[in-house]
Chain A
Amino acid sequence: MLAKDMVAASAKPLLLSILAEGESYGYEIIQKVRDISGGKIEWSDGMLYPVLHRMERDGLIESEWKEADSGRQRKYYYLSSNGRNVLKNERQQWLTVHNTLARLWNIKPVTA
């Protein structure tokens, strides 16, 4: 399981990356993070929403209430153009950290 500090630090790039693939809502986002990380990143359900709301306030994402196939109204989040630019920058920074550690640990680096 990932340490609390790492979970907090990676929340923004993970959310931006998930929403870069298409719009999504809170419950689905948590499921995606769990599935993609193989259960290693566990987000507390309630804690996701404050982060989403802050990112929305900061103009990184936008939201819209829509009716899902089940007929249930859900708030869908999607990436804004500003969020897309921030994601590019985040990607570069995380790859720099990843590649630095990869070299130190003799693991194959990743190209951007």
Chain B
Amino acid sequence: MADRSQHPRKVMEYKTRDRINSAVESWRRELAGQAGLTAEIRRELETHLADCISAFRQLGLSDEVCFRLARQRIGRPQKLDAEFEKVMNPATFWKRPMLIAAWAVFVVSFFLPSYTVMRGWQCALLQHTFWPQVLQGDLMAIHYELLTFANLLMLASPLFLAHLSNTVKQVQWLQHITLAATILVWSFALQLVIHQDAGGLKIGCLAWLLSFTLLYVAVVVQASEVRRSKVARHP
């Protein structure tokens, strides 16, 4: 009789254990899914999880609750991965001389004569007069308007490089959009040359073109650093 009454409890225990085992497995898989968490880091976190579970067990909590609390204390795997990226590979504006140079040249270019007698900032503000041509599908005017995005990207580049270039994926995106902006500004200058307007180009325009080239180099350098740091962590 005693055996029969204990049977349902044993079944419950087995079911609970199965549930915990599958929850631990799923947690392990989630950790393994984070590119920045190496096998060694995962092993360390698993040891920490086991230590937490042992401590909670001593408080008399059920295994299921122990696991849930321990997992909560360690935190979400995605957040851990981001934290490892941030701490192991900090990217700050002031540590990037190439970026500072790009930004400085860009700012200076706005105050230099850029096209005939117009200074850089005057050329940038001129874009609003091109909207009628844009609406008529004039490609040169569309190209001119798109330069606004390139300029905005350049203005925001210190922020992007400081906060959005810590992972390989982020830096790849940044590299793509910076390349697009660089092609955009150089192709615009090329069009002026093709249309025999090259004589109107002044030093400000050259500085502006140089600033985008420097920015692209800065992003490429950052990308290679991030990739190298990734390889160092995943030998």
Contact = CB atoms under 8 A, between A and B. Distances in A.
Interface of A: 25-27, 44-47, 49-51, 53-54, 57, 70, 72-75
Contact of B83 (A26, A46, A70, A75): A46
B87 A50 contact: yes
A50 B77 CA distance: 12
B19 interface: no
Contacts of A70: 54
B41 A49 contact: yes
A24 B75 CA distance: 21
Given A27-B48, A51-B87, 15 more contacts: A26-B51, A27-B47, A45-B48, A45-B52, A46-B80, A46-B83, A49-B45, A49-B80, A49-B84, A50-B80, A50-B86, A50-B87, A54-B88, A72-B50, A73-B43
B64 interface: no
B87 A27 contact: no
A53 B84 contact: yes
A45 B79 CA distance: 12
Contacts of B79: 46
A50 B75 CA distance: 13
Contact of B88 (A46, A53, A75): A53
Contact of A47 (B44, B51, B55, B83): B83
Interface in B19-50: 40-41, 43-45, 47-48, 50
Contact of A53 (B41, B47, B50, B54): B41
